[in-house]
Chain A
Amino acid sequence: MTFAAAADAIVMAERVGYTFPGSERAALAEISLTFAPGSLTVLAGPTGSGKSTLLRVLAGLIPGSASGRMEGRVRLFDLDTRGASSLDLATRAGLVLQSPDDQICTADPVSEVAFGLENLCLPVPEIERRIDQWLDRFGLNAQRNQATNTLSGGQKQRLTLASILAMGPRLLLLDEPLAQLDAAGADGLLDELDTLRAAGLTVVVAEHRLDELLHRANRLLILADGRVVSDVPAGRPEAIEALRRANLTLAATPGESQSNATNASNTIAHINELSFCWPGRTQPLWSDVGFDIRAGECLAVVGPNGSGKSTLLAALAGLVSPSAGRIVLAGATPGSTQIGLTPQNADLTLFCRTVADELAFGPRQLRLEPAEVARRVSQTAEALAIHNLMDQPPLALSQGQRLRVAVAAALTLRPRLLLLDEPSTGQDPQQVCRLLSAVRALLTASEIGAVLFSTHDPRLVERYATRVLVVAEGQLLADCSPAALFSDAVLMSRAGFRAPPAQFSATTESSAIARPTR
């Protein structure tokens, strides 16, 4: 498959604006852009800045299936997207959304790739040819008849991409494709995109993990409040400057430093030779995992996709039962609970009518005095900057706000151990930093005992972790300091991890865009 046919064509947006139904504020305004064939453009911007909406506009899904108000026009190669059929759009632009799991509509990879090709009414031999081609290209041949709900996050991501590319689009739009991938998975995906671009495919990526992407891109677009505020070449120092101006790097929060105030004598949890095996499987996911968690610690759990990080957190929270070993938790203090958990999909912990009720729910269940409930709610809301949202329904808030409410709801219980499963998924760096800084402040003030979070983001490990647990190859590969992890290239490789890039780090002022160290 080549994209040479698109060599003389471009994608063009002219004064595009869009307002969602029922909203007074424009999600996009006055956007005029062109994209050259074979280029890679990175869309950056804080959560809610309009990146995903812009991708939908470029794919022709807005105004097609949306009922809001759109201004301007988009020309997709030879086609005006207004009034174009879904089939015409699908053969020109492919959009891969944030959550691969929610886009997979069939039971196995073969059917998933075939789905779009069936819609194109291609003959069966051609469908078979493309299925073989794209499953092979994305390394999914061994899983071709495996149930899609048993694939790993990385495999699902590759499958959604294969099923879109099999339809032969000339423009590929990706919404946070790296969010759930480890370093090796991200590299593999980006290498594949480089190959496709060389064949003429135009790629636009909205992403928060800029450090892995910028050195490969031609252009950086920064959005804020639905407008393009910067449009610069990606490989130049001005790209970093533009990101700094837009507050999209991890600048140090004033007054913050990594706390080492651990209390070795005060062990919160003792995990002893823990093993876990999924029902019906013989090979354990991990075995003989043992470590202690001490008061004041902020632990990061890292490891490649599918290594069992989330399962380890689920076992600590009691969501799944380990097949062997013990978890011994030290006694909870009065008015607190043992463990607080914010799962990867934090929305699943929000069930009250208002944010205030959500935060008060736990303390009320503990039958605390109303004055104490109010104190905790107010203090936690202030710390996580959600005090102005107290009357809002939690599920109607933005993604970043929902995450903060979910974490705050766990924090009002003053848990001895707070578990955060990939808090950076779908969040911009500033949102995550605000959240983890607030959690660290409560930890320093001994309001909570210890924090354990899983992540693929080296910047978070560097900034917030006092200790790192590396879960890989079915075992606890290392229990070390962040510095020890970042200085051991072999360990990082086995952990599917990489050192934080200098230009995005909290501590350096370098403005050169360098390829990240694998």
Chain B
Amino acid sequence: MSSLGWIEMNDRSWLARRDPRLKLAWLAVLSLASVLIESRTGLYALFAASLVVAIGVRLSARTWIVIGAILATLAWGTVLSQALFFMGDRTTPHITLIAPRSFRYFDFAGVQLWRDGALFGLLQSLRLLAVTLAGLSVCLSTSPQRLLAALVAVRVPVAVSFMSIAALRFLPTILAEWATVRQSCRLRGYRPRPWRAPWNTLRMETALMAPVLAASLRRAATLATSLSNRGFDATRPRTTYPALRMPRTDMALLGMMIVTAVTLSAVKSYHWFMMMNG
């Protein structure tokens, strides 16, 4: 297990040993399915599939708590936004899945929370949660270097994929620096008072980002120099180490994923075709 600060990776599970290109394919198929599937049962199944795979990564309890918090925040955001802005405006076919019995849970000064909106948001959030969970599963079961190799192999530009991996590498450092900034500010007597002095608190919290940003800029300059000094050029070919070799099991799984994606797209296209022709 290695740590990204508050969450831990596990690169020793069965899932971790799968070819990273297969995992990217899994992410792509799941994302496609989350867009195409509209039935409630289908979305439940999608989320369940993502959850089963995530469980297969065998993460620590602490990591699951953090993942749970991320998923809950995402679901809460979707539910709240739908509950606020639903207003009985049934413009998408998804809402035909929900009984048309709108009434207000809450109404104050023109702000209304709608029950149907909340239920609709909860259902819609399953798409987001399934993809987020799949993304986390892939990231937490794959070493950054193998992920970089896979991204390059599927023709993501080296500059983009390398930047993403470097961001992962420096995330714990930035979090540690942020903690140091806040603590040293507290040692100099600062106490945030968001209720009593909201403007001052906001101004101060914004100012506290300056040292972290400045450190990040200096670090970026150092890193750029170091990369240049080691012959890195995003426009030139480079060897991939370790070389990616997809075993037969992974090939079979990849085949199944491709078949699933093609079938799903075909069925959906047929459905749309039938709808357009009455």
Contacts and interface: CB of A to CB of B under 8 A. Distances in A.
B229 A164 contact: yes
Given A120-B231, A349-B211, A99 B222 contact: yes
A149 B232 contact: no
Nearest to B240: A118
Dominant SS at the B interface?
helix
A365 B204 CA distance: 12
Interface in B101-127: none
B53 to A, nearest CB: 22
Closest CB pairs A-B (n = 4): A365-B189, A90-B231, A116-B230, A103-B226
Interface string A68-108: 00000000000000000111011101110111011111111
A102 B223 contact: yes
A408 to B, nearest CB: 12
15 contacts: A94-B229, A106-B169, A107-B144, A119-B231, A124-B242, A147-B3, A164-B229, A280-B3, A317-B187, A340-B187, A343-B180, A345-B180, A348-B211, A351-B207, A366-B189
Interface stretch (B31-39, B212-220, B246-254): B212-220
Given A317-B183, A318-B183, A341-B184, A97 B189 contact: no
B227 interface: yes
Given A148-B169, A349-B181, A119 B232 contact: yes
A61 interface: yes
B184 A343 contact: yes
A5 interface: no
B144 A106 contact: yes
B210 A395 contact: yes
A117 interface: yes
Interface stretch (B76-84, B87-95, B171-179): B171-179
A508 interface: no
Contacts of B2: 107, 146-147, 150
Contacts of A177: none
Contacts of A347: 211, 214-215, 218
Contacts of A108: 143, 145
B237 interface: yes
B166 A105 contact: yes
Contacts of A85: 233
B241 interface: yes
Contacts of A99: 219, 222
Interface of A: 56, 59, 61, 64-65, 85-87, 89-91, 93-95, 97-99, 101-108, 111, 114-124, 127-128, 146-150, 160, 163-164, 167, 280, 317-319, 337, 339-341, 343, 345, 347-352, 361-362, 365-366, 395, 409-410, 413
B143 A149 contact: no
B155 interface: no
Contacts of A409: 188
Given A59-B229, A105-B166, A111-B145, A121 B189 contact: no
Contact of A352 (B143, B207, B214, B219): B207
Contacts of A117: 239, 241
Nearest to A419: B187
Contacts of B215: 345, 347-348
Contacts of B180: 319, 343, 345, 348
Nearest to B229: A95
Contacts of B165: 106-107
Nearest to B213: A395
A121 B239 contact: yes
Contacts of A124: 239, 241-243
B208 interface: yes
Count chain B CB atoms within 10 A of each CB in A101, A317, A349, A351 and give the residue with the most. Answer: A351
Nearest to A94: B229
Nearest to B177: A348
Nearest to A95: B229
A395 B232 contact: no
Given A101-B173, A102-B219, A149-B172, 4 more contacts: A61-B225, A116-B232, A120-B231, A345-B177
Nearest to B3: A147
A64 B228 contact: yes
A120 B231 CA distance: 7
A459 B184 CA distance: 28
B188 A103 contact: no
A61 B177 CA distance: 29
A118 B239 contact: yes
A164 B188 contact: no
B199 interface: no
Count chain A CB atoms within 10 A of each CB in B180, B185, B212 and give the residue with the most. Answer: B180
Nearest to B162: A105
B238 interface: yes
Given A97-B222, A317-B183, A348-B181, A118 B238 contact: yes
B224 interface: yes
A95 B173 contact: no
Contacts of A98: 222
Contacts of B212: 348
Nearest to B183: A319
Contacts of B189: 337, 362, 365-366, 413
B270 interface: no
Contacts of A114: 145, 241
B212 to A, nearest CB: 7
Contacts of A341: 183-184, 187
B224 A65 contact: yes
Nearest to B172: A149
A359 to B, nearest CB: 10
Nearest to A353: B207
B169 A107 contact: yes
B272 interface: no
Contacts of A106: 144-145, 165, 169
B158 to A, nearest CB: 10
Nearest to A393: B210
Contacts of B166: 105
Nearest to A318: B183
Interface string B120-158: 000000000000000000000001110000000000000
A91 B218 CA distance: 26
Nearest to B219: A102
B27 to A, nearest CB: 20
B187 A365 contact: no
